[in-house]
Structure 1
Amino acid sequence: MRHLTRTLAAVAALGMAAGAASYTPPAAAREVVVIRTAPPPPRFERVPPPRVGYVWAPGYWNWYGGRYVWVGGRWAAGRPGYVYRGPGWRPYRGGYHYERETWVRDPHWHR
């Protein structure tokens, strides 16, 4: 019985090692999609009054179903020490590629 338990434990450990060795994290599997047509100009949005602890994330054009689709602005919870950078289309290899929203370190922020 003890031999069987050790054998099963060894097989399980081998299986886990093989699975870990073949794992590819999602970031490594990303590909850049380039759209040849420029996005339309941003739409005008009336920015609501400020909200304490939130940052206004303006609307943007998203690529969906083979065309640009407008996504309206929204409030995003603020992050002390960071500056919000909204999503957008950046020139890339003769076309445009979409960069997701992100938070970048504020170089002027001190605790």
Structure 2
Amino acid sequence: MVCCTTARTPLFDGALVPDHAAVAAVGSHEVDAREVDEVLVGRSALYVEARSVALREAGDLLMAGVTGATTLWNLAELVNGEAPVPTDRPRFFKSVGMAWEDLAVAAEAHLRDSA
């Protein structure tokens, strides 16, 4: 499931998201705006682009009470196989819109298509 809105309040009840789901929230990126609720955040494995930025800007996480003590895995750790990927609970990725990552993905896709 991908959430890509400018919502300021949760779009759905996080308790209804099945354990096998992967959710990406890429729209709201302000401390007082969120697309998902604290229920989903609380029961999910959490992945972010960068911990420091997420803990400063990601309302989805901050409004759910996520702090530096909470386990947040960087996207790079997920891609490199360092972060666990549980199958008994949702996986939640929160983007805060770091444009350099979009460029890196586009460049890699272009290289693969050119090969």
Normalised by the length of structure 1, the TM-score is 0.22
Query: Which one has the bigger strand percentage?
Result: 1
TM-score normalised to the size of structure 2? 0.22
**Structure with greater contact order relative to length (CA < 8 Å, sep ≥ 6):** 2
